[in-house]
Each structure stands twice: as C-alpha cells, then as structure tokens.
C-alpha cells in the first residue's frame, strides 16, 4: 500500500515538473520575440557615373547619372542630388528622385568648377552618401558671355586722369544685353528725384555687334559708338572709348 502511494506521489511530482517547464518555455518564447526588433540597414555604397570626376567642357545644363543603390532590406530607395562650388556641395538641387538620373533646368556658370554628390535614402530614413565628384563647365563664346544684366561699377575719364565717382543712382543703372541672336539690348539709367529717391529716368534701346577680335559696337537712336574691349569674362566687362576718352567698368549680375 505504501509502495503504491509513493509511486503515485512520484508520478505526480514528475508530471508537475514537466508541466511547469513546458509552461515556462511556452511563455518565454513569445516574450523574446516581442522584445526583439531586427536591424534595418542603409542602402549599399554606390558610385557616380556622369558628370565624371575631373570632366571638363561640361554643358551648362548637364544630366547627372549615378548607379542604383541596393537596399538589403528590399525597401524603396530615393535620392537627393547636391551641386555647388564648395566641397562638399550643400545646395540641394533635386529631392526624393525616384530614378538614377537628373537634368538641370537652369544654367550653371561658364568656366566654373562644381562639386556634386548624391545621397540615397530608404523608407526607414537610413541614408548612404556617394563620393564627391567635380567637373568644370565649358568656356562661353563672347556672344554668350555678354548676355545678361551689367551694372556700372566704375567710370574713368582721361581728361580728369582719375576715376569719376559714381553717384548713388549710377550704381542702379545698367545695360541689359539680350539673346545674342537678337543683338539688341536696353540701357536703364537712374537719377535722384526731389525726394531723394533713385528713379528710372532713361530707358533706351540699342543694338550691338562684335567687330574683329576686340571691338564692341553699340548703336543708339542718334549715335553709334565703337568700344575697345579691354576685358570680357563671365564676371566683368571693361570697355574704352576714344572720344571722349574714357573707360567703363561693368560687373555682371549673377
């Protein structure tokens, strides 16, 4: 009788231990799963294709091309494009680009060195930056370079043998050279009114053309002037006139 009772107690004890261990195991597994979140990885490294680093004579509206950035988590990847004159570039030109190319919609400057890079982002906000590449835009012809708005920064009369001081309103005056195919422009001149404000006083149209290697001809309603070009680049225009003998220095609005 005692043997039967002992066996029953032993069996009950073993059953209880098995049941307890089983419950503990079943309860603990989901808890581990609930507290564990898998790591999300950023897109893999990728390279820039075009404009290639070190490229020269690049057009003013280049098409930028780069490799696709693979995301190991199979998430969607978009790109931000940065272009600028400093290294690394900080000016964001395109955002959340879904493809691996982008064409600029506005002109860059002639004969200027630029840096560019692309940042790839996945759906979780993880990002990977490309290396930085650089390129230089092409030289502009004189017809292309002169197009734009040129402000008078200095006016030198040889009869005085010194630079003529510009008035406050002179600094607002400018020459607007239009599309080279039209060869026309506008001269806007400002004067001070009786209230002391600079107002537009003269709005004169003119035509222009280049003669030889160093002559700029500008024709107004009654007169035509032929200027010697002392300097013409993407930033500054310096021209001289024999009669009256003078030099005019203009800076382009950028």
Is the sign of the CA dihedral 141, 214, 152, 178 positive or negative? negative
Q: Is 130 exposed, middle or buried (0-12, 13-18, 19+ CB in 10 A)?
A: buried
Mean pLDDT of 168-175: 88
Q: Which domains does the chain have, with CATH numbers?
A: 48-137 (2.60.40.10), 142-252 (2.40.128.280)
Say which residues have a Cβ less than 8 Å from residue 215's Cβ, sequence separation at least 6: 226, 227, 228, 229
Task: Transcribe 143-181 into DSSP letters.
Answer: HHHT-EEEEEEEEEETTTTEEEPPPTTGGG-EEEE--TT
Least confident of 20-34, 97-111, 225-239: 20-34
Q: Pick from 186, 191, 166, 190: which is nearest to 176 by CA?
A: 186
What pLDDT, on the 0 to 100 scale, is given for residue 202?
Answer: 83
Torsion angle of alpha carbons 220, 148, 112, 58, nearest 10°?
-100
What is the 8-class DSSP label of residue 234?
S
At residue 135, the pLDDT reads 98
User: 240 exposed, middle or buried (CB, 10 Å; 0-12, 13-18, 19+)?
Assistant: middle
- Global pTM reads 0.69
Each residue of 29-55: pLDDT tens digit?
A: 444 445 556 788 899 999 999 999 999
Q: Which residues contact 95 (CB under 8 A, 6 or more apart)?
A: 80, 81
pLDDT for residue 201 = 87
The answer, yes or no, to whether residue 185 has pLDDT greater than 50, is yes
More confident residue, 201 or 135: 135
* Cα 42 to Cα 31: distance, rounded to the nearest angstrom: 28
Q: Is the pLDDT of residue 157 over 70?
A: yes
Q: How far apart are CA 196 and CA 74, in angstroms?
A: 67
- Read off the tokens for 16: 């209880």
pLDDT band for 222, please (50, 70, 90 cuts). confident
Q: Distance between CA atoms of 16 and 111, rounded to whole angstroms?
A: 86
pLDDT in the model for residue 68: 95
pLDDT-derived band of residue 20, with 50, 70 and 90 as boundaries?
A: very low
3-class DSSP state for residue 47? coil
């Amino acid at each position: 009788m005692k043997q039967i009772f002992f066996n029953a107690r032993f069996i009950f004890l073993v059953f209880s231990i098995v049941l307890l261990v089983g419950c503990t195991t079943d309860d603990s597994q989901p808890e581990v799963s609930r507290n564990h979140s898998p790591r999300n990885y950023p897109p893999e490294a990728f390279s820039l294709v075009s404009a290639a680093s070190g490229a020269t004579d690049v057009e003013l509206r280049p098409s930028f091309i780069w490799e696709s950035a693979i995301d190991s988590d199979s998430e969607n990847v978009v790109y931000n494009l940065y272009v600028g004159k400093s290294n690394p570039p900080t000016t964001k030109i395109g955002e959340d680009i879904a493809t691996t190319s982008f064409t600029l919609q506005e002109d860059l400057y002639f004969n200027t060195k630029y840096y560019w890079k692309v940042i790839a982002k996945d759906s979780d906000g993880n990002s990977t930056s490309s290396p930085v590449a650089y390129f230089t835009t092409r030289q502009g012809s004189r017809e292309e370079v002169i197009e734009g708005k040129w402000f008078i920064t200095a006016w030198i009369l040889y009869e005085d043998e010194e630079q003529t001081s510009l008035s406050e309103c002179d600094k607002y005056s400018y020459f607007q050279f239009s599309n080279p195919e039209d060869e026309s422009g506008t001269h806007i001149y400002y004067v001070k009114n009786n209230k002391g404000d600079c107002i537009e006083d003269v709005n004169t149209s003119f035509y222009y053309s280049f003669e030889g290697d160093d002559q700029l001809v500008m024709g107004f309603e009654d007169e035509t002037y032929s200027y010697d070009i002392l300097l013409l680049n993407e930033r500054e225009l310096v021209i001289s006139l024999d009669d009256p003998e003078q030099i005019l220095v203009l800076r382009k609005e950028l």
